[in-house]
Structures are given as structure tokens and as C-alpha cells.
Amino acid sequence: ADEWEIDLVYARNEDVGAYVDEHGLEPGDDIPVDALSEHNQHHIREILEFEEDSFPFLLDTYVGNHLLKTVALNDALEEHDI
């Protein structure tokens, strides 16, 4: 990024990341929906209409993909006014 003078921004869902780090989760372990922020719970319940109490910590699931990719990217774009 420095070589081409590009501002590099990392997109990460910090809420999910913090939960994973604090609990030492491995891919496939469950994350309780109510352990996450209101922002993430809103995406899970209202946008995705997901009704289960937990979801697996995986990128290739409906909820995992949305939180770890889509929400992370959209939040980074908004935060950095991109």
C-alpha cells in the first residue's frame, strides 16, 4: 500500500472478533446471538430474519457470511467515509 500510496483499510467485525478471542473459539463453534452487540443482533434478527439462539463461527454460513463479510465491509465504508 505504501509503495502505491494507497490508504489501506481493514474491515473486521470487532464485536464478533472480540467474542471469538475472549472465548477461544475455533471455526464451527457456536456464538450466542444475545452475546453480540445490538447492531449485530439487529442484522441477525431484523435483516436476516434468523431466529435461532446461536450460529456457527464460519464464513460460509448465512449469518457468519453476513456478519463477518457484509457487515464488516459496510461498517468500514461508513466509518472511513468511503
Q: Tell whether 6 is covered by a domain.
A: no
Query: Is 2 a member of any domain?
Result: no
Report the C-alpha gap between 61 and 5 in whole angstroms.
Answer: 35
Could you tell me which residues come within 8 angstroms of residue 70 by beta carbon, excluding any fewer than 6 positions away? Answer: none
> Does this model's pTM top 0.95?
no
Nearest to 14 by CA among 39, 32, 33: 39
pLDDT for 53 equals 98
In a domain, 63, yes or no: yes
Q: Is residue 9, in this structure, part of any structural domain at all? A: no
Q: Output the pLDDT for position 19.
A: 98
Residue 4 resides in a domain: no
According to the model, what pLDDT value does residue 1 have?
Answer: 74
Q: Which amino acid is at 34?
A: D
pLDDT tens for the chain, 82 residues long, are 788 988 899 999 999 999 999 999 999 999 999 999 999 999 999 999 999 999 999 999 999 999 999 999 999 999 999 8
Q: Is residue 3 part of a domain?
A: no
Range of the domain at 27: 14-79
Q: How many domains does the chain have?
A: 1
Give a yes or no: residue 5 inside a domain.
no
Distances (CA, A) of 49 to 43, 45, 52, 66: 8, 5, 9, 12
